């Protein structure tokens, strides 16, 4: 079997290697609408993204001597070209980085490049607006983008190849065109985005002949290519000052926005210390507030008190999933407290409190094996659990033990639906804030911790994570997910299925999932054998119903994850989520 895997790895190598002469486009885009979502490969490097061609770009960067950081910048810039409906330089996000210190030891840091509220924002700005879509569509929904400052910070701290080189593949893809894949075609033809045809800037890209592009057509983003070239030549400052910044301000203002040149010039990345836990035989690191990695860690720490290596055919599988869901409910109950640390007191201390063994034991003692409870039992504050939106996750690893797990977003599909003259799609991240007077389906009010304030970062479900062996410190896996508020449950299940059950990357990311965020019902994923998703066992679903769960089965669990595993033989095992058919991985 090993020899077959090695042959497959070398075949993949032949597919992903690109001639050094094709410097701009870097590789031809395939017209295929699907690809294998898992690959083994030798111990050089691995990349997993939602667009297989972008994964291959990351591999090529590492082949040239770049590291995991260089690869993730180049790959994610490509994602911003091809999958612009939910990521790009008009957005922001979070990443966790495992890097090498001068003494050879590994260390971790989190880079927070989340968007911020413009200086003219206030907590009732959306309540006062006559437009009910003001927080999701148009200029008032636009936050100060952090993406370019995030890349700049990452590259300055850990990159190897020149900044300009990392932009070349994405510039070529945007300028020379790419084939519309099945995922992009689905967003273009969703019949809910009329601006794609009516707005000249959007139509120039996605309906150049008067009709929307379809799968297999070639898409060109020439304005965006010129913008990326300026940023490659002049650095991130060219985004936050000068003509590009002026065009951002003008485009937002034309649609009622309040972002200013001063907001852009003043944007700053924040370097944070990730939280970590011991979990069975591993140590897991994840992002901190205002993201939700600490929620993932808390859930796993609670669940650690139960047997975890329970397979789908084990008689204990029913109660095991119930326990994991109960732990998840308590985790989501904590999440309302995790606002921007610059505006919320004692957030860091509270995150650590919920990870202390004594706290974990007290929470675990509240879990009964034969019942579930209403939302107030898990969240005594009775504040609304924020439902946020779409994202893109990317993971990379290299042979030196460096790894990056990153999630980036423009929030809702197509962000604010505002495009600048430079082809930049602006985020609508300000919808992730809460406003006074909001309530959820239970009548619970919005949490003041997430109310709007100038310069503040809104809460996020992003929970990018990296695990290492507890005894040796060897890198084990990097994972994360896209999918708004379902990122948390997807990420923790990726970790559980690999670390507890020993599933390989492909099996773990494809495993049937649940989602629970103290809502009206618990979602359980139905089987989708056409794409290799087994779903949650019907017997388990029946058991959950019998002890009081309100279950909603679904074929669309709404989250997409990626996993890269470094195996004991030091080969890489990488997998993208089969729920996004255009995705793919690259290993070499």
Residues designated catalytic? 391
Residue found under tokens 């939602």:
50
Strand segments (E) across 172-331: 178-179, 218-219, 270-272, 275-279, 282-286
Asked if the bond preceding 513 is cis, omega within 30° of 0, the reply is no
- Residue 460 marked in a binding site: yes
Give residue 194's pLDDT band: very low, low, confident or very high (50, 70, 90): very high
How big is the chain, counted in residues? 588
Question: Is the CB of residue 339 less than 8 Å from the CB of residue 347?
Answer: yes
Mean pLDDT of 90-106: 95
In this structure, the number of other CB atoms found within 10 A of the CB of residue 573 comes to 23
Q: State whether residue 242 is helix, strand or coil.
A: helix
- Residue 432 marked in a binding site: yes
Nearest CA-CA partner of 377 in 289, 291, 439, 444: 444
Domains of the chain, first to last: 276-388+459-568 (1.10.246.130)
Q: How confident is the model over 460-499, as pLDDT tens digits? A: 999 999 999 999 999 999 999 998 889 999 999 999 999 9
DSSP readout, 20-61? Answer: TT-TTT-SPPP--S---SEEEE-TTEEEEESSHHHHHHHHHH
Give the pLDDT score at 36: 45
- Pairing of β 551-554 and β 522-525: parallel
Give residue 336's pLDDT band: very low, low, confident or very high (50, 70, 90): confident
- Residue 37 marked in a binding site: no
Query: Which run of H or E residues covers position 477?
Result: strand 475-482
Q: State whether residue 209 is helix, strand or coil.
A: coil
pTM: 0.92
- Residue 560 marked in a binding site: no
Q: State whether residue 76 is helix, strand or coil.
A: helix
Mean pLDDT of 397-414: 95
Give the pLDDT score at 386: 60
- Residue 387 marked in a binding site: no
Read off φ and ψ for residue 272, nearest 5 degrees: -120, 160
Does residue 382 have a pLDDT over 70?
no
- Residue 502 marked in a binding site: no
Mean pLDDT of 41-51: 86
Q: State whether residue 148 is helix, strand or coil.
A: helix
Does residue 389 have a pLDDT over 70?
no
- Residue 484 marked in a binding site: yes
- Residue 411 marked in a binding site: yes
Between 441 and 122, the more confident residue is 122
Residue found under tokens 């690259």:
586
Mean pLDDT of 491-516: 96
- Give the range among 2-6, 206-210, 231-235 with minimum mean pLDDT: 2-6
Give the pLDDT score at 41: 62
Instruction: Give, to the nearest 10 degrees, the angle between helix 293-303 and helix 317-335.
Output: 140
Give the pLDDT score at 14: 27
Give residue 520's pLDDT band: very low, low, confident or very high (50, 70, 90): confident
Does residue 38 have a pLDDT over 70?
no
Nearest CA-CA partner of 584 in 216, 182, 220: 182
Rounded to whole angstroms, how far apart are CA atoms 428 and 424?
13
Read off φ and ψ for residue 508, nearest 5 degrees: -65, -45
Residue found under tokens 């030798």:
42
In this structure, the number of other CB atoms found within 10 A of the CB of residue 209 comes to 8
Give the pLDDT score at 21: 32
Structure tokens at 278: 């011991």
């Amino acid at each position: 079997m090993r020899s077959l895997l090695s042959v497959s790895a070398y075949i993949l190598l032949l597919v992903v290697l690109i001639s050094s002469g094709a410097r701009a486009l870097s590789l031809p885009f395939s017209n295929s609408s699907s690809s294998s979502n898992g690959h083994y490969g030798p111990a050089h490097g691995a990349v997993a993204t939602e667009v297989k061609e972008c994964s291959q770009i990351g591999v090529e960067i590492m082949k040239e001597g770049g590291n995991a950081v260089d690869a993730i910048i180049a790959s994610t810039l490509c994602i911003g070209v091809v999958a612009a409906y939910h990521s790009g330089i008009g957005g922001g996000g979070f990443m966790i980085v495992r890097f090498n210190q001068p003494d050879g030891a590994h260390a971790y840091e989190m880079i927070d490049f989340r968007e911020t509220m413009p200086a003219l924002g206030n907590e009732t700005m959306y309540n006062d607006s006559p437009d009910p879509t003001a927080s999701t569509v148009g200029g008032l929904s636009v936050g100060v983008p952090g993406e370019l400052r995030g890349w700049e910070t990452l590259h300055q701290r850990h990159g190897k190849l020149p900044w300009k080189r990392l932009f070349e593949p994405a510039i070529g893809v945007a300028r020379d065109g790419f084939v519309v894949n099945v995922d992009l075609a689905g967003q273009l033809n969703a019949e809910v985005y009329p601006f794609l045809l009516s707005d000249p800037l959007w139509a120039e890209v996605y309906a150049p002949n008067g009709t929307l592009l379809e799968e297999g057509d070639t898409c060109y983003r020439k304005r965006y290519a010129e913008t990326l070239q300026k940023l490659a030549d002049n650095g991130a400052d060219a985004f936050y000052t000068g003509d590009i910044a002026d065009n951002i301000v003008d485009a937002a203002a034309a649609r009622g926005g309040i972002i200013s040149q001063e907001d852009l010039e003043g944007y700053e990345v924040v370097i944070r210390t990730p939280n970590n836990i011991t979990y069975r035989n591993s140590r897991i690191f994840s992002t901190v507030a205002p993201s939700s990695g600490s929620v993932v860690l808390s859930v796993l720490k609670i669940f650690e008190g139960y047997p975890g290596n329970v397979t789908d055919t084990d008689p204990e599988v029913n109660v095991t999933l119930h326990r994991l869901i109960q732990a998840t409910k308590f985790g989501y109950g904590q999440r309302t407290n995790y606002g921007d640390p610059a505006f919320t007191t004692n957030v860091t201390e509270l995150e650590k409190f919920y990870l202390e063994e004594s706290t974990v034991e007290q929470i675990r003692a509240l879990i009964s094996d034969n019942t579930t409870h209403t939302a107030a039992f898990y969240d005594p504050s009775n504040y609304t659990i924020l439902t946020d939106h779409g994202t893109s996750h990317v993971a990379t690893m290299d042979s030196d033990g460096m790894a990056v797990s990153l999630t980036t977003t423009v929030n809702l599909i197509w962000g604010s639906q505002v495009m600048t003259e430079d082809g930049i799609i602006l985020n609508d991240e300000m919808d992730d804030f809460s406003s006074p007077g909001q309530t959820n389906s239970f009548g619970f009010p919005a949490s003041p911790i997430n109310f709007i304030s100038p310069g503040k970062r809104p809460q996020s479900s992003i929970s990018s994570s990296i695990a290492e062996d507890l005894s040796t410190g060897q890198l084990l896996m990097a994972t994360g997910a896209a999918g708004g508020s379902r990122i948390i449950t997807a990420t923790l299940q990726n970790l559980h299925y690999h670390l507890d059950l020993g599933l390989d990357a492909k099996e773990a990311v494809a495993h049937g999932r649940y989602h629970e965020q103290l809502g009206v019902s618990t979602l359980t994923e139905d089987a989708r054998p056409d794409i290799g998703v087994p779903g949650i066992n019907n017997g388990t679903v029946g058991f959950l119903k019998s002890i009081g769960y309100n279950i909603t089965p679904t074929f669309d669990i709404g989250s997409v994850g990626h996993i890269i595993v470094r195996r004991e033989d030091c080969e890489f095992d990488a997998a993208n989520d089969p729920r996004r058919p255009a995705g793919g991985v690259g290993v070499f």
